[in-house]
C-alpha cells in the first residue's frame, strides 16, 4: 500500500505525557506505558471516536483506561495496531477532557535483527526509532506531529548493565534487592517518539564540559565499550567545535544540562539525533590516527556536527509528517557542510560534496526511485532516506541562500526557529519564513521541492564587438521522471562572472545600469529560454558560470578546451577552476572512448597532459614552501573523474570501455610526469606527528596521489617504496593507501607483496572491527580478475557477520558499488551474487537489503546484454514470497517505471 501526502490529516488524539517503564531481561523485555491523552481540539467537527495505536512485533499483556483493565472485547489487536473502536463509551467524560491509557507489552530485543526499535548490539541494549521504530517498542501514536513529554524508567541487572540512559536528565535512581537497579530520566522538551532513545550496557565514557554563550554549563559525555576509550577525543573536539559554531553562525544554543553520545557497532545508518542522547554507528564516532583514515576523521567531525545541529533543525523544530523529511535533513546537511567548510578547506569541501552529488544523487534522480525533495507518496519511508532528501535537499537550502543573500538567510532562519519552536512543521513553513524575512519572492522556487529530476541547462555566449556587448543565451529543461512526464521551469540561481583576456574580472552591467561595481552576480534564471546582455564589455570574455555550483543542474556551456584551460588557472572561483579541470578531462576521455568504441585507437589530447603538468609545477613549488595554492585543492585538480562519474554522464554505460580509457589516461599521465610525481612524493613526506588537520590531510592526499601515479610505472622501485610505506607508516591513511595500491598493482611481482600485506594487515588489526571493515573493502574493490571469488570466500571469513550492517556495506556494498568491472562482469555472476545476498538479508534486516538493491535499479543505463541479466535478478527477487515492504517497493518500482 502506498501512503500519500494529500491524505495527511491532523491526529485525532494527542499525547501530552508519556511515562515508560522498561524491565530489561535476558530473554524478553517488559514495557509498561502510561500515556496521558486527549482528543485533538483542532480536529474539525471533533468527532473522532476511534483510537488507533501503532504497534508491531510484540505481545500485549494488558490494556487499561483510566486505571481500569479493558476486557478483550473492548479493543482489537492485529499485526500493526491496537484499536479501541468506541472510546467515548468507555469514558465518564468527553475524550477532550483527557484520559490515561496504559499498556503492558513484551518484546524480544535479543531476536530483533532489523536494528529498528529496541535491539541488542553485542551485550548492550539500544534503540533506533526513526522513522517508525517506536511502534516496535510499545503501542503508540507513532507519527512526528504527536509530541509528548517523556519520563522513562529503566530497570536492569546492575552488573551486566551498570549504565542506563535515556533522553533528558536523570532524576531518580535506586537499587532493588535482586541485583537489579533502576534510573528514571525526564526530558523537559516535548518530542515525537522517533526521538526517543534508551541505552543499557557496560559502557565507559569520556567527559568534558561546555559553557554556552548565555552561560549554561553543559556536561558532555561519550559512551563506548572500554576498548574504544582511546578513540573518543576527536569526536569530543568536533562536538565542542560544532556547539560553538552553531552559536556563532545561527545563534543556536544547547538547551539541556547534559549531552550524550553512545557508540554502537550494529547500526543501520550513520547516527541518530535522539534528544540529548545521540546514538552513533561506531564508524562515525571512533577515531585515532593508527586505525582511522583522514576521510574517516572528517566523517566523524561531520556526523557529530550533523547530529548536534539536529537539536534545533529537527528536534526543537520537527517534521509534521515524513514527506517533510528534507525539512530537517536537507537543512541539517547544509548546516554541517558549512561547518566542515569553516573547519577545513572551504573549496575542497565544496568539490567533494559536488562530486558526490553529481555522481550519486544525479544517478538516483535519473533512475526508477527518482523522487522530489518533498515526495508525494511512499510505500516504506525507510527507503526515502536518500541522496535526494539529504544532499539535493541541502542544495535547495543553499540555493535559497544564493537568492536571498547571507544576511537575509540568517534573518530567515531566526524567524523559522522562533516562529516554529516546539512545533512539527513543513518545508512550506521553512520557505515562507525565508520569504517573509527576505522579501524575496520564492513562489517559482518552490518547484525544487515538488519536481523530481535533474534540470539540464545549456548556455552559449555571443560577443558583439561593435556594440561592446556580451550576450548569454540560456535554456533549461528537465527530463521526465516516474510520475512526472512534464516539468515547469525552475528558478535557478546562476552565480557567474566574466573574465577578460588577462584573467581580470570584468564589471557586469545589465541594461539600464551604468556602473554596477559588480564583478560577480547571481542571475535569476526562471524561463525555459532566457537572455542576459552585459554592456561595456571591451573584448570577448570567457564566462565563468555556475560558480560554487550555485544550483544542482547539469550545465552545458559551449567552452572549448583552451577556454577550460584558461579558467583552470585564471578563474577567481576555486570551485570553477577545479570544475574546468574536470570538464577538460571528461571531454578528452569521452572523445577517446568514442574512438575506442569504434575500434579506433585511444589518442589523448595533449592539452590534458599540459594542464596536469602545470598543476604539478604548482604542487612542487608549494611543497617546497611557496604555498601559493591550497595543497588539498591541488590534489583535487590532479584527480581524474571517477568511473562512476563518467558512467553517470554516459548515454549508455560502457563499463569496460570507461575503465580502459581511464586507465589509459592515468598511465599516460604517470609516464609523462613521472619525475614530477616522484619529486612531489618525496617533498610531501613529513616527520611531524600525525594530525588530522587541513594541512596534514592535504599533504597526505597529495603524497598518496603521487604514489598512485608512480605505481602505474612499469618499474620495480615504486613497488618497494609502496611496500615500505605500508610497513613503516604510523597512520592508517598512509597504510591504507599503500595497501590499496599494492592490491591493485598490475606488476607481476606485486601479487606476492599484496598477499603478504593483506595477511599482515589482518593479523595486526583483527581485533579492531572498523579496521577489518577496511580490509574487506580493499579486497572487494580490487579491479583484478577473480575478485568475486575472493568476496565469496570472505563471506565465510571468521570476521564477517551478515547481521552487522558495517560488515555488509564494507564487503557486499563495496563490491557492488565500488567495483564496476567485476560487478558488471558479463557472466552475470556479480548480479546473481548480489541478488542472493539481498534475499538472505531481507529476512534479517529489510532496510539494509533494500539499500543493497541500488546498483541493480540502474539496469536501464547499460547495454542490452547487461540489462537482461540485471533485470532477471530483479525479477527473481520480485518473485520471492513474503518480501519486506522495503525490498518490494524498490524492486517493483525498478521493474515498472520506464
Ligand atoms: N536522522 C538520522 C540522521 O540523518 C538518520 C536516521 C535514519 N534512520 C533510518 N532508519 N532510516 O542523522
Ligand atoms: Zn540527519
Q: Could you read off the pLDDT of 837-852 as tens digits, one per residue?
A: 999 999 999 999 999 9
**What pLDDT score was predicted for residue 576?**
98
**pLDDT at 898 > cutoff 80:** no
Distance between CA atoms of 272 and 311, rounded to whole angstroms?
11
Question: How far is it, in rounded angstroms, from Cα 14 to Cα 51?
Answer: 10
Mean pLDDT to the nearest integer, 777-781: 98
535 contacts 457 by C-beta, under 8 angstroms? no
As a whole number, mean pLDDT of residues 662-685 equals: 98
**Could you tell which of 272, 331, 847 is best to mutate to test the pocket of ligand 1, judged by most ligand atoms within 8 Å of the CB?**
272
Distance CA(898)–CA(896), nearest Å, equals: 6
Q: Does 74 have pLDDT greater than 90?
A: yes
pLDDT (0 to 100) of residue 757: 98
Choosing from 127, 385, 391 the residue with most ligand 1 atoms within 8 A of its CB, the one to mutate for a pocket test is 385
Across the chain, mean pLDDT equals: 97
In sequence order, what are the beta bridge partners of 544? 497
Beta carbons within 8 Å of 83's beta carbon, 6+ residues apart = 50, 51, 52, 53, 75, 76, 77
Q: How many angstroms does the Cα of residue 389 sit away from the middle of ligand 1?
A: 11
622 pLDDT above the threshold of 70:
yes
Query: Where do the DSSP E strands lie in 500-648?
Result: 521-525, 529-534, 542-545, 554-557
Three-state SS string over 358-414 comes to HHHHHHHHCCCCCCCCCCCEECCHHHHCCHHHHHHHHHHHHHHHHHHCHHHHHHHHH
CA 841 / ligand 1 centre spacing (Å): 20
Residue 126 to residue 24: CA distance in whole angstroms: 11
For the Cβ of 166 lying below 6 angstroms from any atom of ligand 1, the answer is no
ipTM: 0.97
Does residue 663 surpass a pLDDT of 90? Answer: yes
Q: Which helix (H) or strand (E) holds 99?
A: strand 99-107
**Pick from 777, 847, 785: which is nearest to 814 by CA?**
777
DSSP string spanning 441-498? --TGGGHHHH--S--EEEEEEEEETTTTEEEEEEEEE---BTTBS--PPP-EEEEEEE
Distance of CA 301 to the CA centre of its chain: 13
Q: Is the CB of 268 under 6 A from ligand 1?
A: yes
Average pLDDT over residues 569-590: 97
At 369, is the pLDDT very low, low, confident or very high (cuts 50, 70, 90)?
Answer: very high
Judged by its nearest atom, the ligand closest to the C-alpha of residue 284 is 1
Q: How far is the centre of ligand 1, averaged over its atoms, from the C-alpha of 258 (Å)?
A: 22
Q: Which of 420, 247, 392 is nearest to 318 (CA)?
A: 420
Residues with catalytic roles = 307
pLDDT confidence band for 43 (50 / 70 / 90): confident
Can you tell me the mean pLDDT for 500-508? 97
785-837 confidence digits (pLDDT tens)? 999 999 999 999 999 999 999 999 999 999 999 999 999 999 999 999 999 99
pLDDT for 630? 81
Between vectors from CA 478 to CA 475 and to CA 484, what angle results, nearest 5°? 150
Question: Quick one: pLDDT band at residue 779, thresholds 50, 70, 90?
Answer: very high
Name the strand (E) or helix (H) holding 302.
Answer: helix 294-309
Instruction: List b or e across 236-262, with b for residues whose CB sees 16 or more CB atoms inside 10 angstroms.
Output: bebbbbbbebbeeebebbbbbeebbbb
In order of 7, 167, 247, the CA distances from 273 in angstroms are 28, 11, 18
Name the burial class of residue 38, with classes exposed (0-12), middle (13-18) and buried (19+) by CB atoms within 10 angstroms of its CB: middle
H-state helical runs in 684-768: 694-710, 717-728, 732-744, 750-765
Is 271 near ligand 1, meaning CB less than 6 Å away?
yes
Among residues 456, 458, 434, which one has the least CA distance to residue 446? 434
Ligand 1 near 583 CB (within 6 A): no
Share of the chain above pLDDT 90, in %: 97
pLDDT at position 625 is 81
Range in 61-65, 361-365, 516-520, 692-696 with the lowest mean pLDDT: 692-696
Beta strand spans in 160-257 (E): 163-166, 169-175, 180-191, 198-201, 204-211, 217-224
DSSP 814-843: HHHHH-HHHHT-TTSHHHHHHHHHHHHHHT
Task: Output the CA torsion 54→57→59→63 (10° steps).
Answer: -10
Supply the pLDDT for residue 46: 61
Q: How far is CA 513 from the centre of its chain?
A: 43
Ligand nearest to the CA of 116: 1
Mean pLDDT for 463-484 is 98
Q: How far apart are CA 593 and CA 597, in angstroms?
A: 6
User: What pLDDT does 631 receive?
Assistant: 86
Buried b (16+ CB within 10 A) or exposed e, 610-623: ebbeebbebbbebb
854-861 mean pLDDT: 98
With a cut of 90, say whether residue 101 has pLDDT above it.
yes
The DSSP symbol for 71 reads P
Ligand nearest to the CA of 267: 1
- Terminal CA-CA length for the chain: 21
- Does residue 91 surpass a pLDDT of 90? yes
pLDDT at residue 897 above 90?
no
Asked whether the bond before 131 is cis by omega within 30 degrees of 0, the reply is yes
Q: Whose CA is nearest to atom 8 of ligand 1?
A: 130
Q: Which helix (H) or strand (E) holds 271?
A: strand 271-272
Which pTM was predicted? 0.99
Is the pLDDT reported for residue 628 higher than 70?
A: no
**pLDDT computed for residue 607 by the predictor:** 98
Q: Is 269 in the pocket of ligand 1 (CB under 6 A)?
A: yes
pLDDT band at 233 (very low <50, low <70, confident <90, very high): very high
Ligand 1 pocket: which of 269, 310, 336 to mutate (most atoms within 8 A of CB)? 269
- DSSP conformational letter for 226: G
Cα(390) to centroid(ligand 2), Å: 8
Strand partners, 271: 280
Q: Is the CB of 307 under 6 A from ligand 1?
A: yes
CA of residue 635 to ligand 1 center, whole Å: 32
**What pLDDT was estimated at residue 629?**
65
Q: How far is CA 799 from the centre of its chain?
A: 26
Are the C-beta atoms of 542 and 498 separated by less than 8 Å?
A: yes
CA distance 491 to 486: 16
Q: How far is the CA of 787 from the centre of ligand 1 (A)?
A: 32
Pocket flag, ligand 1, residue 303 (CB < 6 Å): no
Helices (H), 626-716: 631-637, 643-649, 655-672, 674-683, 694-710
Among the bound ligands, the one closest to the CA of 330 = 2
Q: Is the CB of 272 under 6 A from ligand 1?
A: yes
Amino acid at each position: 500500500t502506498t501512503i500519500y501526502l494529500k491524505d495527511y490529516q491532523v491526529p485525532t488524539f494527542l499525547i501530552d505525557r508519556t511515562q515508560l517503564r522498561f524491565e530489561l531481561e535476558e530473554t524478553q523485555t517488559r514495557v509498561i506505558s502510561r500515556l496521558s491523552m486527549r482528543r485533538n481540539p483542532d480536529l474539525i467537527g471533533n468527532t473522532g471516536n476511534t483510537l488507533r495505536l501503532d504497534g508491531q512485533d510484540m505481545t500485549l499483556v494488558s490494556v487499561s483506561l483510566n486505571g481500569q483493565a479493558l476486557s478483550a472485547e473492548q479493543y482489537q489487536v492485529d499485526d500493526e495496531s491496537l484499536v479501541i473502536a468506541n472510546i467515548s463509551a468507555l469514558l465518564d467524560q468527553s475524550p477532550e477532557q483527557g484520559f490515561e491509557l496504559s499498556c503492558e507489552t513484551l518484546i524480544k530485543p535479543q531476536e530483533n535483527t532489523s536494528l529498528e526499535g529496541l535491539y541488542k548490539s553485542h551485550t548492550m541494549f539500544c534503540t533506533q526509532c526513526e522513522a517508525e521504530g517506536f511502534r516496535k517498542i510499545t503501542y503508540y501514536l507513532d507519527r512526528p506531529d504527536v509530541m509528548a513529554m517523556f519520563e522513562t524508567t529503566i530497570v536492569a541487572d546492575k552488573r551486566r548493565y551498570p549504565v542506563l540512559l535515556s533522553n533528558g536528565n536523570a532524576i531518580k535512581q535506586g537499587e532493588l534487592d535482586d541485583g537489579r537497579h533502576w534510573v528514571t530520566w525526564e526530558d523537559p522538551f516535548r518530542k515525537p517518539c522517533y526521538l526517543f532513545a534508551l541505552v543499557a550496557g557496560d559502557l565507559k565514557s569520556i567527559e568534558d564540559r561546555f559553557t554556552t554563550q548565555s552561560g549554561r554549563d553543559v556536561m558532555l559525555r561519550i559512551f563506548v565499550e572500554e576498548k574504544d576509550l582511546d578513540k573518543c577525543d576527536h569526536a569530543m573536539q568536533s562536538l565542542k567545535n560544532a556547539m560553538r559554531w552553531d552559536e556563532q553562525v545561527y545563534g543556536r544554543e544547547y538547551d539541556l544540562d547534559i549531552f550524550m553520545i553512545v557508540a554502537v557497532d550494529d547500526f543501520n545508518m550513520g547516527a541518530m539525533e535522539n534528544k540529548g542522547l545521540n546514538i552513533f554507528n561506531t564508524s562515525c564516532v571512533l577515531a585515532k590516527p593508527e586505525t582511522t583514515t583522514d576521510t574517516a576523521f572528517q566523517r566523524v567531525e561531520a556526523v557529530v556536527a550533523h547530529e548536534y545541529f539536529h537539536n534545533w533543525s529537527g528536534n526543537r523544530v520537527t517534521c509534521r509528517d515524513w514527506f517533510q523529511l528534507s525539512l530537517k535533513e536537507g537543512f541539517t546537511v547544509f548546516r554541517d557542510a558549512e561547518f566542515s567548510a569553516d573547519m577545513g578547506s572551504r573549496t575542497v569541501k565544496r568539490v567533494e560534496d559536488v562530486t558526490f552529488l553529481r555522481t550519486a544523487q544525479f544517478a538516483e534522480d535519473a533512475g526508477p526511485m527518482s523522487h522530489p525533495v518533498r515526495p508525494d507518496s511512499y510505500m516504506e519511508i525507510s527507503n526515502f532516506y536518500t541522496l535526494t532528501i539529504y544532499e539535493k535537499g541541502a542544495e535547495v537550502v543553499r540555493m535559497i541562500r544564493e537568492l536571498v543573500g547571507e544576511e537575509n538567510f540568517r534573518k530567515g532562519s531566526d524567524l523559522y526557529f522562533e516562529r516554529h519552536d516546539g512545533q512539527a512543521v513543513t518545508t512550506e513553513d521553512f520557505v515562507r519564513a525565508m520569504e517573509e524575512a527576505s522579501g524575496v519572492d520564492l513562489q517559482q522556487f518552490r518547484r525544487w521541492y515538488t519536481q523530481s529530476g535533474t534540470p539540464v541547462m545549456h548556455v552559449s555566449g555571443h560577443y558583439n564587438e561593435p556594440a561592446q556587448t556580451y550576450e548569454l543565451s540560456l535554456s533549461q529543461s528537465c527530463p521526465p521522471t516516474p510520475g512526472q512526464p512534464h516539468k515547469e521551469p525552475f528558478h535557478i540561481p546562476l552565480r557567474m562572472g566574466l573574465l577578460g583576456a588577462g584573467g581580470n574580472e570584468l564589471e557586469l552591467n545589465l541594461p539600464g545600469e551604468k556602473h554596477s561595481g559588480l564583478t560577480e552576480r547571481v542571475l535569476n534564471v526562471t524561463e525555459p529560454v532566457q537572455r542576459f546582455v552585459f554592456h561595456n564589455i571591451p573584448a570577448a570574455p570567457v564566462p565563468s558560470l555556475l560558480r560554487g555550483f550555485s544550483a544542482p543542474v547539469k550545465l552545458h556551456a559551449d567552452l572549448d578546451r583552451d577556454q577550460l584551460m584558461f579558467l583552470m588557472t585564471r578563474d577567481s572561483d576555486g570551485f570553477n577552476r577545479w570544475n574546468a579541470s574536470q570538464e577538460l578531462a571528461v571531454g578528452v576521455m569521452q572523445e577517446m572512448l568514442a574512438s575506442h568504441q569504434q575500434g579506433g585507437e585511444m589518442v589523448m589530447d595533449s592539452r590534458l597532459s599540459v594542464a596536469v603538468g602545470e598543476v604539478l609545477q604548482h604542487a612542487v613549488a608549494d611543497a617546497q614552501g611557496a604555498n601559493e595554492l591550497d595543497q588539498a585543492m591541488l590534489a583535487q585538480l590532479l584527480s581524474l573523474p571517477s568511473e562512476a562519474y563518467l558512467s553517470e554522464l554516459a548515454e549508455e554505460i560502457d563499463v569496460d570501455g570507461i575503465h580502459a580509457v581511464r586507465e589509459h589516461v592515468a598511465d599516460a599521465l604517470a609516464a609523462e610526469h613521472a619525475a614530477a610525481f616522484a619529486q612531489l612524493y618525496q617533498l610531501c613526506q613529513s616527520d611531524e606527528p600525525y594530525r588530522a588537520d587541513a594541512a596534514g590531510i592535504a599533504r597526505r592526499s597529495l603524497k598518496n596521489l603521487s604514489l598512485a601515479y608512480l605505481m602505474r610505472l612499469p618499474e620495480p622501485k615504486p613497488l618497494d617504496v609502496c611496500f615500505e610505506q605500508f610497513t613503516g607508516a604510523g597512520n592508517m591513511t598512509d597504510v591504507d593507501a599503500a595497501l590499496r595500491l599494492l592490491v591493485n598493482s598490475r606488476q607481476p611481482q606485486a601479487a606476492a607483496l599484496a598477499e603478504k600485506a593483506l595477511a599482515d594487515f589482518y593479523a595486526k588489526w583483527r581485533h579492531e572491527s572498523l579496521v577489518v571493515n577496511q580490509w574487506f573493502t580493499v579486497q572487494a574493490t580490487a579491479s583484478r580478475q577473480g575478485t568475486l571469488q575472493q568476496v565469496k570466500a570472505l563471506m565465510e571469513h571468521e570476521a564477517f557477520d551478515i547481521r552487522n550492517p558495517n560488515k555488509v556495506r564494507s564487503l557486499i556494498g563495496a563490491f557492488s558499488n565500488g567495483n564496476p568491472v567485476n560487478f558488471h562482469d558479463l557472466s552475470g555472476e556479480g548480479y546473481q551474487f548480489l541478488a542472493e545476498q539481498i534475499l538472505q538479508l531481507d529476512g534479517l534486516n529489510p532496510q539494509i537489503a533494500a539499500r543493497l538493491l541500488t546498483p541493480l535499479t540502474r539496469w536501464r543505463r547499460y547495454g542490452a546484454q547487461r540489462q537482461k541479466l540485471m533485470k532477471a535478478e530483479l525479477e527473481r527477487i520480485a518473485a520471492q514470497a513474503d518480501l519486506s515492504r522495503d525490498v518490494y517497493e524498490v524492486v517493483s518500482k525498478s521493474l515498472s517505471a520506464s
